[in-house]
Structure 1
Amino acid sequence: MSLAKVIQRIKKEWQIIVTILGIYIFYYTLTSINWPKAQRRLKSDIDPEVPIKTDSWIYNPGKVYPPEWYAIPKKPDPQCKPKHNLHFLRTHQTGTSSITNIFYRYGQEHDLKFVMNALKLNLNYPGRINMHYLESVKPPQGYSILCQYSRFHKMDALRIMPDGTIFTTLLRHPVDQFLSVFHNHGIKEEIRNLQPHHNPYEEFFRNPKKISMMASDAVFHLIQNSMSFDLGLNPLQFPNETAVDELIKKVDEDFHLVIIIEMLDECLVLLRRLMCWDLKHMIYVKLSVNNEYSNGIKPEIREKILDWNSVDKKLYDHFYKKLQRIISEQDEDFHKEVAMLKKINAEFWRECYSNVLPVFDGNKIGYTLQDTHSDNKTCKTLATDDVTQTHVIGLKQFKDTLPPSDILMVRNHMQNLGKFNPAMLKWGDVYNALDPDDAYYKSPFDEL
């Protein structure tokens, strides 16, 4: 073989080696890149910091309830027995705080157990619920109520909730809901490009797709169609009409009542009839401000909000119409019952409270008690925010496992917040309810 052919052959072999090496380097570099968080968030609904094991769990109901059990009766049945098992899927900035307070009060009154992580307001949101943890801390009598923030996954819900559970959730008009998210979750502060602008809405809608991708993990999932996201729709499917229609169909099938916040009193009467609860259980006070940001929004911005949140708009319109249809089928006493609930609420407010106070930069509402009701526990419980309520219930439900530092944290939280909301539950109310004879709670956590 001539020298020229040998050299040519060596060149070909080296070209093959270099090509293989280049492919390997490219693949290694590609898999090592730290892609923007916003891109990675769309790929999975699972929080990488909380590994969730997969298993072959299948829903096998122990008892099958008739369709009538889940249907909203057209007139109340005085013979029906109260239902205690409830799954309330909380959506963001829709007014869930006041409604959750109803479920907190009912559960505590009937000594029911809540699906919750100790002292936390969410169940690994926005990731999947950590089922293995919840099963490991499940009380002997089982769970009855789920009303913490979570992202809906039907199989997870059926796995943790007992048979015969009633499913409900809450929707708000997409414009008001989006503006409330924008304000209360500090979208302007979270996205650097919006910070210099006097009107962040106009700047955001110059290029909402690009700007939303700059958001931090804390708010990314709330910026677009967040109600649909909470109900389980993947953001990658927002442009997919078939997927959106399928979501609405599933929500229709899985949820026995979808509450519309703009018709809250009517919905609470429907819920009372569905759950066979007394009207007194549906009393509520506002715990967050009714943000009227939409009053100052230009019509063109309003239209852009609706277009940007088109999935939420379609979801809301569907269930608003369905709610009107359900109400039209109720008996002649329905509107009398709604009027009665409004009357009871107004009378209760006048008896309990003397003033309304801004809390948390004006986003939440606090109260001062009337002197005649300074020791009324119902008045205090109604005025207590959901974070504090979660702490109170967590202390009771996990008191055998919580370290003293957590109890001290709850005490400090309640004492500090009580300065701004004097009508809320005090540490002494919780402290005495836990176990007044237990030294574990007496020292070193006596009230200052």
Structure 2
Amino acid sequence: MRMSQKKILLAFSAVTTVTLLMRCGGRWSRTADRLRSDCPALRPHPAAGPKAKHTNVAFLKTHKTASSTVQNLLFRFAERNNLTVALPTQACGHQFCYPRPFDGHFVHPHTLPPNVIGNHMRYDAAELRRLMPNDTRYVTILREPAAMFESLFSYYNQHCKTFKRVPKGSLDAFLERPWRYYRPEDQGSMYARNTLTFDLGGDKDHPATDAAYARSFAAEVERVFSLVMIAEHFDESLVLLRHILSWDLDDVVYVKLNVRAPASKRRLTPGLAGKIRTWNWIDAHLYDHFNASLWRRLAALGSACVDREVRLLRVAKERLLHGCFGGRRPLLRLAGQIQNKDLRPWQPSAKVGIMGYDLPANLSSGFSSSARELCLKLVVAEVQYTRILLRSQSIRYHRPRLSLHSRPVPDAPTGPTTASGLRSLYDRAS
């Protein structure tokens, strides 16, 4: 009898833990209801009832813009809601054969038809329209061009021919005479000029004398994308993301991923920042245009509404981290110092310090496997998460065809970066 009671208590604890972590309790639903009543623009029409969550989302993942953090929350949302994420074929790696323009043939057949797409690509409107459902919401994110270019110059210094030509890898030297080092046809040249423009499918090398091009390009992006987030105002951007997708607060909880170590960053002088914006003139126009657009949309919601929702988001994040890691945050460390190799983010070179997360020691073993996976996926890096999703979706793709004597699922990654592998990482830290 005592053993039976113990099993019942363990089962109840597991269910409660998952419920609390995945939905943060009914408290957040009630808070969201109050928030809608305080935010007229978020309130559904009285006759329509609650809005259903929008589940078809195309995220154009730009470079060095906090896009890995957005991708992670999209992946977690897709898994919780049993959605299909379009993923690259193995020949493309973890990106859709970037920098080639996106093509539907780059999508792994086990991940079709998709609801969500979010790995790096070069945007091609026609190809994405053919792939994604008609009611897909398109979202992307931009970052202030000077800060972004400093990050690109550091991150891709050993992978971009233009940057490798610069003596001693000097950003100042490059910006003094950029045409001395830059070749549009070079491998990796998309990292060296107007990277945002290139990622969005535009002409990174359009003559600066044609200012009308930047205006027309921004107008086209605005026509297609339901939301252009701004990295410097990340939480405020998530307020708008929740609004256009009708998502819950816990759907946009996040931790920052793929950030550089402070020692790898450089503070820019106003003069240097101005040179970067001049060199990346289309990116600068895009950023200024959509930064202003973001704040107009936030103003329409009302500052009190936005401030309140940002506070609630930050409280929700703290509660989830506390629930996942017992009051101790996941440990932010340089990639090479992370004990669990499967949690290490990709590092472009030894000269660039990329931060990732390690698990606290002596984690509680009271969580169910589902709760452990939820917590781990908050801190899993992009490459590993892509493999996890491809593995799980390949299994789901073959499941109707499997029998007791079927062979293992072909053409899907194996190894420790699967759901069971993640559980073992958590167990080893316990």
CA offsets, 1:67-122, max 9 Å, x none?
xxxxx982243610111100000110001111100000011111111122235321
- Post-superposition offset of 1:328: 0.6
Residues of 2 paired with 1:403 and 1:207: CA distance?
54
CA distance in 2, matches of 1:430, 1:276: 35
Distance 1:402 1:186 in 2: 41
| Residue identity in the other structure for 2:391 | L
Structure 1, unaligned runs of 5 or more: 1-71, 416-424, 432-448
Match of 1:112 among 65, 83, 95: 83
> Deviation at 1:397?
2.0
Q: Which residue of 2 aligns with 1:163?
A: 134
Hey, what does 1:244 align to over in structure 2? 214
Find the aligned partners of 2:56 and 2:243 in 1 and give their Cα distance.
Answer: 15
**Alpha-carbon distance between aligned partners in 1 of 2:136 and 2:75, rounded to the nearest angstrom:** 16
**Counterpart in the other structure of 2:377:** 381
Distance 1:137 1:404, change over 3 A: closer
Structure 2 unaligned runs (5+)? 1-38, 336-346, 399-406, 426-430
Residue type of the partner of 1:362?
Answer: G
Matched residue type, 1:342: R
Aligned length: 343
- Given candidates 289, 296, 312, the residue that maps to 1:325 is 296
What is aligned with 1:305?
Answer: 276
Matched, 1:355 2:331: yes
Question: Does structure 1 retain, via aligned residues, the 8 Å contact 2:97–2:121?
Answer: yes
The two structures have a TM-score, normalised by structure 1, of 0.70
For residues 207-233 of structure 1, what are the alpha-carbon distances to aligned partners after superposition, in whole Å with 9 as ceiling and x for unaligned? Answer: 21230228851x211111100111111
Contact 2:115 2:133 in 1 (8 A): yes
CA RMSD, Structure 1 to Structure 2 (Å):
2.9
Aligned to 2:11: none
In the alignment, residue 199 of structure 2 is paired with which amino acid?
Answer: D
Q: How does 1:202-217 map to 2 (within 5 A)?
A: 202-213=172-183, 216-217=186-187
Q: How much has 1:354 moved relative to structure 2?
A: 4.7
2:366 pairs with 1:366: no
Contact 2:145 2:277 in 1 (8 A): yes
Question: How far has the Cα of 1:206 moved from its partner?
Answer: 2.7
Moved more, 357-366 or 121-130: 357-366
Cα distance, 1:363–1:216 mapped onto 2, change above 3 Å: farther
* Alpha-carbon contact 1:76-1:273 (below 8 Å) kept: no
**Alignment of structure 1 residues 4-403 onto 2, 5 Å:** 74-77=41-44, 79-119=50-90, 120-132=93-105, 134=107, 139=112, 142-187=113-158, 190=161, 191-194=163-166, 196-197=167-168, 200-213=170-183, 216-217=186-187, 219-239=188-208, 240-289=210-259, 296-331=267-302, 332-351=304-323, 352=325, 353-359=329-335, 360=347, 362-369=353-360, 371-373=362-364, 375=367, 376-399=372-395, 400=398
Tell me the residue number matched to 1:439.
none
How far did 1:405 drift?
Answer: 8.3
Could you tell me whether the CA contact under 8 Å between 1:395 and 1:402 is conserved in 2? Answer: no
Q: Report whether the alignment pairs 1:429 with 2:423.
A: yes
Distance in 2 of aligned mates of 1:427 and 1:367: 15
Change in Cα spacing, 1:188 to 1:383, as seen in structure 2 (3 Å) is closer
Return the offset for 1:350: 3.9
Cα distance in 1 for partners of 2:391, 2:282 equals 39
Deviation, structure 1 residue 346: 2.5
**Residues in 1 aligned to 2:62 and 2:154: alpha-carbon distance in whole angstroms:** 16
Matches of 1:263 and 1:92, distance apart in 2: 17
Deviates more, 1:111-120 or 1:221-230: 111-120
Please tell me whether the aligned partners of residues 115 and 132 of structure 2 are also in contact (alpha carbons under 8 angstroms): yes
Superposed CA offset, 1:236-281 (max 9, x none) = 3252322221110001110011000111111112111211111011
- How far apart in 2 are the matches of 1:203 and 1:73? 52
